[in-house]
Amino acid sequence: MSDAQSPTDFDFEPVDDFEPVDVFDDSMDLRPGADNCYKCTACDTSCPVAEVDDEFPGPKFQGPEQWRLKRKEDVEIDDSILSCSNCMRCDNACPSSVPLSQMHNEARGEYVENQMDHRSREYIRNRILANYRTLAELGSKVPRITNAVMGNSLVQKLNEKLLGITAEREFPEFATQTFREWWRERGGAQVSSEEKRIAYFHGCYSNYNTPEVGKALVRVFEEFGYEIAVPRQRCSGTPMFANGMLDDAERAANVNVPEFKDLIDEGYDVIASCTSCSMSLKQEYPELFQISGIDEVSNHTYEALEYLRIYEDVQGALEGKSVDYPDLAYHAPCHARNQGLDRQAVELFREVDGFEIEDVGSSCSGISGTYGWKAEKYEKSMKIGEDMFDHMHHAKGSVGMTECPTCSMQMEHGSGYEIRHPLQLLEEAVA
Amino acid sequence: MTDTPEILVIGGGSTGTGIARDLAMRGMDVTLVEQGNLTHGTTGRMHGLLHSGGRYAVTDQPSAKECIEENRVLREIASHTVEMTGGLFVKRPEDTEEYFEKKLKGCKECGIPTEVLSNAEARQLEPYLAKDIDKAIRVPDGAIDPFRLCVANAASAEQHGARIETHSKVVDVLIEAGEVVGVEVEHTSGEGKRVHGRSGGREKIYADYVVNATGAWAGRVGDMAGVDIEVRPSKGVMTIMNVRQVDTVINRCQPKGNADIIVPHETTAILGTTDEEVEDPEDYPEEQWEVDMMISELSKLVPMLQEARTIRSFWGVRPLYEPPGTGTTDPTDITRDFFLLDHAARDDLPGMTSIVGGKFTTFRMMAEKISDHVCAKFGDTTECRTADVPLPGSEDFSVLRDYMDEFGLRSPIGRRSVQRLGSRADEVLKTNEPNPTVCECEGVTRAEVRDAISSAGSDLNAVRLRTRASMGNCQGAFCCHRMANELAMEYPEPVAREALDELYQERWKGERHAMWGEQLSQAMLKHLLHATTMNRDRDPVRVGSDVDFGAFDGGPAVGDDAGAKRAAADGGRRDGD
Amino acid sequence: MAIEEDVIVVGGGVAGTVAALSAAETGASVRLITHKKSTLRHASGLIDVLGYTPDADGPLADPFEGLDSLPEEHPYRVVGEDAIREGLATFDDIVGDEYHGEHTDANALVPTHGGAVKPTARYPKAAAAGVASDDRDMLLVGFASMTDFEASLAADHLDAAGVPFEARGVTIEFPKRFRADAKVTRFAKALDTDEDVGGRGTREALAAAVEPHLDGAARVGFPSLLGDDHRHEVRADLEAYLGAEVFEVPMGPPSLPGLRLEDLLFDALDEAGVGISSGNKAVGYETDDGEVSAVIVDRKGREIPYHADAFVLATGGLVGKGIDSSREGVREPLFDCYIPHPDDRYDWFVEDAFGDHPFTSFGVVPDDRLRPTRADGHAEFENLFAAGGVVGGANVAAEKSASGVSLATGVVAGRAAGDSI
């Protein structure tokens, strides 16, 4: 081959370019996605559920194999799809970029829609868990009473008996003032800027349960000179995907996408403090729904630290800083891992003096959103978390850190540690 | 002559097994010999189309009528090997309206049910069809698995007392007093070789009558008998896609041409084909342009094929025949009709009839006609029953039961197993032992593989044809050795090793025509698994090298104090948990 | 902007890791970019250096003795024997006492799960008691639902190779009755945490199931699933119960030994202070005056430049997706480096499945500093170096040299990148 025919002359088409098409009723035909699978099983070795639960046949089976074996008239999905916790670690493992989690989401959605008894306890329980926001909105209206009631062990036992929600876990407490109430009270944005603008996707948990994370985000970004908007929003959909409630998720997306799309048009980028929320907007939205503006929202969504590391010299801002902070056992959530964010907190903070931060390993925390709340999954969830608990106990100090609200519940539950968000530490250091 | 006529059938394809079944059911004493596996020849190398007759509705109406008739019969008697996908004749803008109308009219004349679909209707049925197609004619095409169909025919013949010998190549036709009295075969198996059917050497099989149903190989058998049979073998390529881009048979609606059909077959879609006359049915070039043409031409009907993954290609040889002197030059113009050559009448050689030409869909009808012909020789007037009695696997076939729960299988695996096994699912899948999946691509479990071994012996290619194990996207990378492992119950290690090698080589033969993109990555992974991880390419046992074990590292403990207890000492200098 | 280093290594397998560590040793700040999980998860965890040369039939007892008979374009000939030894030394440092083989230059013959022995230079400690030059009798144990390993066939295969010991195989049921499609990680977990089986631990129950078949065997081999984090305890417990040494037979994917090695490599990167960006794909690059100034990383649709002064390409071969192909040709997708290959794709392979396929040797052509070169022999870029599977010229599958090539080229490319700044 001469230089004149150097490889740049090739017109290579992307191999993974397939067009999803409505074919199985109103769901997508993902069979062509199986073309990329060369069966290496890296996904299976990355699956935290298959490691503790042999009822679950692993992501390769649930994804490309199950899809490939499908014919048009075959509607049946193996019921083990409900054991997938939607941690999406398989996506992160696959060297061949098979759309595993998308296949799982579609299959689960089909299963829940067509094969699950919608009057069953499991369905009702899953629907409740998936729609945490509805529960939270009610509960946070009278936070003290709700906290007292939900913290009542009798109520917890009833939840387990009637709904199959484990009594082992403490319900997260509702804050006495939600983030949005605080935001309104402070009069909204305190910094205005034409160039630097972010729209905050706080998600449900920062709003109802840990407004301190949202406040930290506001203070940090304002410190860096950003004008912040906090538009109307619904759940990001993560717990709904995990429970196959795709219709619920789409309804929420139909609120979120236009709200944020309008702001993007005004020069805003979308920032989330929860890595599952940013994951959902970035990846699952465009994979699963066709809503006008959804690609723009996907392309403009960032996790908070990710954004600052790209567009601000946050490393420089932290240089030589010393912060009076407890030693930290950091756990990277699976959904952070999928966005390539699993190392950022440790890399950013390990140069800051005054405390130590240690990564507690690459394992899954085991809670995976709503998975660990299900009575029948509780023990498996704790077994998955064992590695992380072990490493936490071996790490210095007794404070944990993570970006994900449900990982933090699991960390707290398994170790008794108080858990913080990296934004809170960043707030301490720079704001 | 004995009371029961002894009939010898040469050829284990659809025609041969069909004849064996038919004659055995009529009470004849049948022996069938096949040089390779069942379906070794043309039958195993077709795209699996169950014709509605639509393809012949303009040019060859008698064939079209036979097709639709047999199409209906096979749906009844071989339901577990048939998938009624339906078919479309798709008209692109550059195809003529005139031919479209001819096709439609022809189908009606032949009694083939049709329905004209608009662009929108066709694309609703098959969403990946090109956006710019004009319209389509819907016909009752289907997909059929030739392997399982022949195996079922052979099994039925055996149930009626027939003897089926595979891997038994005819080396001579025995002629005594100017009459064919049998054949001499060479059983591939024998001392030191793997045993498939009857063990060992050559065997003379005498019969009252010989039927030569060897298709493209008919001329060779004719030569042995000293008669001239002018078969004109014509090769055609078939390219297998990794997944089904379509669930309906897609035909291009044009008079004739290469690369004009896509058949959804099992988990794959098969693109076909070409039509090129060749000299030798066993030795012809398999060429790159043929594969490339399948993809580029058929992408005009289903554009995503351009980028889709193909997992292999294979070639088949049609046993075309035309009476001497017809003088057709283009093989596509040679009739698809079959010819019954009674060598007594034709060549003054009694005792043998050859059957040539024809097509897969009408194999049963051909078998019936030749069986009638044979029976007439013996004055036997027993009626043919093959159109009425279901084949093994298709009796009382119902998938309504919940096999998944019963057999502890995952839903798509249970579903595919039952789709393959039909009414045999019960007896095959009921096992009290662990029943792991051996072939993950095709969802084939140990129980199914072992069942196939019980009928196919140690020939893993025959096991493959019965089960589809190793026929998926990894082309056996992850299951060839597992299949060989399943032989351990009954066969010694060298047999399992050779069977593995044979299967591995066979897979490579077709796979190499798909060596780009994901399938090249797949092939490299397969190569690394088998050559690097398992060292199968340089395995000292395989290449026959003597190894001086003493020259190699004896482990970290070697070199330690001779008195050290090795089981306790972890030895090496870096050690200690 | 935020992401700026001295050296950026693209690729997170053996070659990438070793390159990153070698670059860091020169004092450079280093970041490793890795997209998905590496091919280590498909590999057996053995570290082969050279088991066969093109012209010899038998396995090489000494890998270094075979170097001279390799073709000139072979990466080993480019980097030389010292680099191979340095690569092995780096590996030994990374893995500490987790691997054996460093006590001798000789190859070890390790039984594979198919039963053939394979020459290798380093093997996991867990596999050590299985080497075929050890003359103690061996029992191989398979599990009924594990189709990948048939112990009796493997034992008979060893026997056919003339090993200096008696090998027997037995198939038992794993004491915890999993569904038939349970993953190896499930087995490993049960042993790792010693889950309860009818009142006793999985390890004891497993030993009890094997014990009746022991019949004096001094060593017992299992498919490699004997635990993960607590693998040494698992083996020690089994050895104590059985009174025999216990080892693992390396398996194909999913490979626990590969997973464990991956962990060791990343721990070493952490310890050396190498930054790691995983989960996103490097899709392009920027140049400045003939040098690469940044690689572009696609972060879910947004393209972010990662700047550095020198770069190492360690993206792997056809399996690792460091080399891409289409019906028209073969290419290196990130920098578009020149990869020589026949125009006719039917010349990329040969007819024999185990023949000498040209595709197995596809890769970039390195200069003496391991910079990928253009067709005219000049370096593609001043500051781009290549290591591992993306480097062409070696038929690593036939030679059994994949890991050795990665180690040797990793050391040289990493150091050259670090030194170049």
Quick one: which of C197, C202, C147 has its CA closest to C171? C147
Pairwise CA distance, residues B411 & B403, whole Å? 8
Distance from CA of A73 to the nearest CA of B (A): 9
Structural tokens at position B170: 């005819």
At A54, give phi and psi (nearest 5°).
Answer: -75, -5
CB nearest to C329's CB, from A10, A92, A338 = A10
Distance CA B452, CA B420 (A): 12
Residues 381-420 of B with CB under 8 A from C: 408, 410
Contact call for C259 and A45, based on CB within 8 A: yes
Average pLDDT value for chain C: 96
- Which of B481, B521, B553 is nearest residue C133 as measured by Cβ atoms? B553
Partners of residue B515 in chain C, C-beta under 8 Å: 325, 345, 348-349, 359
Q: What amino acid is encoded at B438 in this protein?
A: V
Closest partner residue to A51 (CB to CB) among C185, C340, C376 is: C185
Task: Count other Cβ atoms within 10 Å, centred on residue A187.
Answer: 7
The answer to whether C54 touches C68, Cβ cutoff 8 Å, is: no
Task: Say if residue C303 is exposed, middle or buried (CB neighbours under 10 Å; 0-12, 13-18, 19+).
Answer: exposed
- Token representation of residue A365: 């925390």
Amino acid at A83: S
Say what the pLDDT of residue A155 is: 85
Distance between CA atoms of C265 and C274, rounded to whole angstroms? 11
Q: Which residues contact B461 (CB under 8 A, 6 or more apart)?
A: B37, B502, B503, B506
Q: Do A40 and B416 count as a contact with CB atoms less than 8 A apart?
A: no
C-alpha–C-alpha distance, residues A276 and A283, integer Å: 10
Asked if residue C320 lies in contact with residue C311, where contact means CB atoms within 8 angstroms, the answer is no
Partnered with residue C386 across adjacent β-strands are: C313
* Interface contacts (A, C; CB < 8 Å): 160
Q: Per-residue confidence of chain B (577 residues) as pLDDT tens digits?
A: 457 889 999 999 999 999 999 999 999 999 999 998 888 888 888 889 999 999 999 999 999 999 999 999 999 999 989 999 999 999 999 999 999 999 999 999 999 999 999 999 999 999 999 999 999 999 999 999 999 899 999 999 999 999 998 888 999 999 999 999 999 999 876 433 344 455 568 899 999 999 999 998 999 999 999 999 988 889 999 999 999 999 999 999 999 788 999 999 999 999 999 988 998 888 999 999 999 999 999 999 999 999 999 999 999 988 888 787 777 777 777 777 889 999 999 999 999 999 998 889 999 999 999 999 999 999 999 999 999 999 988 886 554 455 556 677 888 888 888 888 888 888 899 888 899 999 999 999 999 999 999 988 899 999 999 999 999 999 999 999 999 999 998 999 999 999 999 999 999 999 999 999 999 999 999 999 999 999 999 999 999 889 999 999 999 874 443 333 343 333 333 333 3
Closest CA to B136 of B103, B111, B106, B110: B103
Which chain A residue has its CA at the smallest distance from B410's CA? A78
**Dihedral of CA B528/B534/B540/B542: which sign?**
negative
A114 to chain B, closest Cα gap in Å? 14
Q: What would the two tokens of residue C365 be?
A: 């052509």
Q: Scan residues 161-180 of C and list those with Cβ closer than 8 Å to B.
A: 161-164, 173, 179-180
Residues of B in contact with A108 (CB under 8 A): none
Distance CA B172, CA A343 (A): 75
State the chains in contact with A (3 or more Cβ–Cβ pairs under 8 Å). B, C
DSSP-derived secondary structure for C268-312 = HHHHTT-EEEESSEEEEEEEETTEEEEEEEEETTEEEEEE-SEEE
d(CA A389, CA A144) in angstroms, rounded, equals: 30
Contact B528 C219 (CB under 8 A): no
Pick from A21, A71, A96: CB nearest B128: A21
Span A309-340, pLDDT tens digits:
999 999 899 988 999 999 999 999 999 999 99
* DSSP H or E segment with residue B123: helix B119-125
Q: Which residues of B touch chain A, with CB atoms under 8 Å apart?
A: 83, 127-128, 242-245, 247, 264, 267, 304, 306-309, 404, 410-413, 415-416, 440-443, 472-474, 477-478, 517-518, 521-522, 525
Q: Taking CA atoms, what residue in B is nearest to A72?
A: B247
Residues contacting C13, CB < 8 A, separation 6+: C38, C39, C40, C314, C316, C320, C388, C389, C406
Cis bond upstream, residue B146 (ω within 30): no
Cα(A255)–Cα(B353) distance, integer angstroms: 77
Q: Which residue in A23, A34, A74 is closest to B242 by CB distance?
A: A34
Residues 248-287 of chain C whose Cβ lies under 8 A from any Cβ of chain B: 250-253
Q: Are the beta carbons of C185 and A342 separated by less than 8 Å?
A: no
Across the interface, whether the CB atoms of C300 and A282 are under 8 A apart is answered yes
Q: Which chains touch C (3 or more CB pairs under 8 A)?
A: A, B
Split at pLDDT 50, 70, 90, the class of A133 is confident
Query: In angstroms, rounded to a whole number, what is the distance separating the alpha carbons of residues A19 and A290?
Result: 13
Q: Which two tokens stand for residue B48?
A: 């699996």
Q: B32-84, pLDDT tens digit by residue?
A: 999 988 888 888 888 899 999 999 999 999 999 999 999 999 999 999 899 99
pTM above 0.95, yes or no: no
Give dist(CA C30, CA C277) in Å, integer.
11
Residues of A in contact with C333 (CB under 8 A): 12
Number of CB atoms found within 10 A of residue A258's CB: 17
Mean local confidence (pLDDT), A395-405? 93
CA distances from A125 to A276, A378, B186 (A): 21, 14, 69
- A122: tokens are 């499991």
Cα separation, C270 vs C292, in Å, equals: 26
Interchain pair C300, A339: CB under 8 A: yes
The answer to whether the CB atoms of C325 and B516 lie below 8 A apart is yes
CB contact under 8 A, A310 and C181: no
DSSP reduced 3-state for C2 = coil
φ, ψ of residue C218 in degrees (nearest 5): -85, -15
State the pLDDT at residue C358. 97
Interface residue C302 vs chain A (CB under 8 A): yes
pLDDT at site C4: 87
d(CA C127, CA C140): 13
DSSP B365: H
Question: How many residue contacts between B and C have a Cβ separation below 8 Å?
Answer: 252
Distance, in Å, from the CA atom of B215 to the CA atom of B221, rounded to the nearest integer, reads: 10
Q: What is the pLDDT of residue B104?
A: 97
Query: What was the pLDDT predicted at B26?
Result: 97
A-to-B residue pairs, Cβ atoms closer than 8 angstroms = 95
Which residue has 């090489």 as its token pair? C60
- Nearest CB among B127, B410, B412 relative to A21 is that of B127
pLDDT tens, position by position, C338-350: 999 999 999 999 9
Q: Residue B568: its pLDDT value, please?
A: 35
How confident is the model at residue A140, as a pLDDT? 86
pLDDT tens, residue by residue, C268-299: 999 999 999 999 999 999 999 989 999 999 98
Contact (Cβ atoms closer than 8 angstroms) between residue C14 and residue C258: no
Indicate the angle between helix axes C256-271 and C75-95, nearest 10 degrees.
80
Largest interatomic CA distance in chain B: 94
CB distance from C180 to chain A under 8 Å? no
Q: Which two tokens stand for residue A187?
A: 């009069």
- Does residue A144 register a pLDDT over 90? no
A chain contacts of residue B306, beta-carbon cutoff 8 Å: 13
pLDDT for B409: 85
User: Rounded to an integer, what distance in angstroms lies between the CA atom of residue A422 and that of residue A412?
Assistant: 16
Residue B163, min C-alpha distance to chain C (Å): 32
Q: At what angle do helices A211-223 and A304-311 cross, to 10 degrees?
A: 10
pLDDT in tens, B326-336: 777 777 777 77
Q: Distance, in angstroms, between B419 CA and closest chain A CA?
A: 11
Q: For A31, which residue in chain B has the nearest alpha carbon?
A: B243
Percentages (nearest 5) of helix, strand, coil residues in chain A: 55, 10, 40
CB A98 within 8 A of CB A64: yes
Dihedral, CA atoms, A387, A388, A394, A400, nearest 10 degrees?
A: -170
Query: What residues of chain A lie within 8 A of the CB of C255, using their CB?
Result: 45
In Å, how far is A21's CA from the nearest CA of chain C? 22
Q: Which residue of C has its CA nearest to A15?
A: C326
User: Rounded to a whole number, what is the distance in Å from the CA of A59 to chain B's nearest CA?
Assistant: 13
The percent of residues in chain C predicted with pLDDT above 90, rounded, is: 95
CB-nearest partner of B552 from C97, C109, C239: C109
Cα–Cα distance measured from residue B148 to residue B78, given in angstroms and rounded to the nearest whole number: 9
Q: Which of A392, A281, A271, A403 is nearest to A337 (CA)?
A: A403
Inter-CA distances, A101 with A113, A238, A338, C279, Å: 18, 12, 11, 15
| Omega prior to A326 cis, within 30 of 0 | no
Q: Give residues 336 to 375 of C whose Cβ lies within 8 Å of B.
A: 344-346, 348-349, 351-354, 357, 359-360
**C-beta atoms surrounding B405 within 10 Å:** 11
What is the CB neighbour count within 10 angstroms for residue B421? 23
A176: cis peptide before it, omega within 30°? Answer: no
d(CA B430, CA A272): 53
> What are the residue ranges in chain C where pLDDT is below 50?
1
CA atoms within 13 A on the CB side of B402: 5
